[in-house]
């Protein structure tokens, strides 16, 4: 995952001090996800072991450093790779060590291999985890179990996560997805006749906290416009809805896997049409 920093729409000089900007844009998400990890593990022991998560983080950062040096000719900031590693460490479940290293390496490498017009098109950890669930299903599973027994920890994470997303101007993505999930969950309950509580149950679990705060808000792999982001968030929820009707255990991850790149392709296609038509009145800055 990449931290949910706000994408600057103009080239104006920032009015806030650089250290404060750095704190907002680079460090807040890593700090939040680290808090989630520590709170979850110290209170409930969510990790199989610290070593596995550490392995994922180290592999992720090391891969990013090496590939960034080779392909971008610079040392990349480690925040993004750190979040990818820690997400792999939390979301992947395996008694073995190697899946954590492989998944982290796959996630970061996907950023450098699966590119189109200079952009990577999959959220790294989403790609890595989905790939592992397919190619290593005998050895790994996704996090599909509960952390705690009360809402306190969840509420703290939601409040912190929402504040960070609000400052990053990406809270609307999470809000649209969550509202869509609940509405579609009630609809699903009506369709299949299951208790509505069972349909909304996943949202109260830990996987969704990472999913809604870190994965679907990833600025590198979401579309630019606010309306587009809302549409994509709804589309993810809707595809997930369909997949859940088909009883897909990892429906949200797979939904993002398909919807995210599709949305980017559509956006690039629209951009190219506009460019060809010469109607680009407000050219967008190039993405890193």
Q: Does 5 bind another protein (CB under 8 A)?
A: no
Instruction: Give 57 or 67: the residue with its C-beta nearer to another protein.
Output: 67
Instruction: Give 95 or 288: the residue with its C-beta nearer to another protein.
Output: 95
Q: Does 187 bind another protein (CB under 8 A)?
A: no
Q: Does 135 bind another protein (CB under 8 A)?
A: yes
Give the one residue of 86, 87, 173, 199 binding another protein; rule: CB under 8 A. Answer: 199
CA angle, 211 then 216 then 219, to 5°? 135
Beta bridge pairs of residue 142: 92
Which 3 state secondary structure label does DSSP give 116?
A: strand
- Assigned token pair, 128: 């890595």
Q: Does 227 bind another protein (CB under 8 A)?
A: no
Q: Does 42 bind another protein (CB under 8 A)?
A: no
Shortest CA distance to 60 belongs to which of 120, 143, 129, 141? 129
| Residue 259 vs residues 45, 215, 235, 264: alpha-carbon distances, Å | 33, 12, 7, 9
Stretch that binds another protein, among 9-17, 21-29, 39-47, 263-271 (CB under 8 A): 39-47
Cα atoms in the Cβ-side hemisphere of radius 13 Å centred on 146: 9
| One character per residue 247-276, x = contact with another protein (rule: CB under 8 A) | xxx---------------------------
Which 3 state secondary structure label does DSSP give 119?
A: strand
Minimum distance from residue 263 beta carbon to another protein (Å): 23
Give the one residue of 144, 272, 275, 284 binding another protein; rule: CB under 8 A. Answer: 144
Which 3 state secondary structure label does DSSP give 93?
A: strand
Shortest CA distance to 257 belongs to which of 160, 159, 129? 129
- Assigned token pair, 183: 């509405």
Binding-site ranges for another protein (CB under 8 A): 44-45, 47-49, 67, 70-71, 93-96, 99, 102, 105-106, 109-110, 112-113, 131-133, 135-141, 143-151, 154, 192, 194-195, 197-202, 204-207, 244, 247-249
């Amino acid at each position: 995952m990449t931290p949910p920093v706000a994408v600057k729409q103009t080239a104006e000089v920032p009015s806030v001090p650089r250290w404060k900007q750095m704190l907002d844009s680079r460090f807040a998400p890593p700090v939040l996800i680290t808090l989630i990890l520590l709170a979850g593990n110290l209170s409930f022991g969510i990790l199989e072991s610290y070593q596995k998560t550490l392995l994922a983080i180290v592999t992720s950062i090391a891969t990013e450093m090496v590939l960034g040096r080779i392909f971008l000719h610079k040392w990349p900031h480690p925040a993004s790779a750190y979040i990818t590693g820690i997400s792999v460490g939390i979301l992947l479940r395996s008694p073995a060590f190697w899946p954590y290293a492989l998944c982290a390496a796959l996630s970061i490498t996907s950023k450098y291999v699966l590119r189109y017009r200079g952009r990577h098109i999959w959220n790294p950890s989403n790609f890595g985890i989905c790939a592992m669930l397919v190619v290593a299903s005998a050895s790994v599973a996704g996090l599909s179990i509960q952390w705690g027994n009360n809402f306190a920890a969840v509420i703290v994470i939601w409040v912190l996560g929402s504040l960070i997303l609000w400052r990053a101007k990406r809270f609307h993505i999470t809000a649209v997805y969550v509202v869509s999930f609940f509405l579609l969950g009630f609809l699903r309950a009506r369709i299949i006749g299951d208790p509505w509580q069972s349909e909304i149950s996943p949202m109260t679990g830990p996987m969704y906290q990472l999913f809604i705060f870190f994965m679907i808000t990833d600025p590198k792999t979401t579309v630019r416009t606010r309306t587009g982001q809302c549409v994509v968030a709804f589309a993810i929820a809707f595809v997930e809805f369909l997949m859940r009707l088909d009883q897909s255990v990892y429906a949200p991850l797979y939904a993002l896997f398909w919807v995210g790149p599709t949305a980017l392709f559509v956006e690039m296609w629209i951009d190219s049409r506009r460019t060809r038509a010469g109607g680009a009145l407000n050219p967008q800055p190039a993405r890193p």
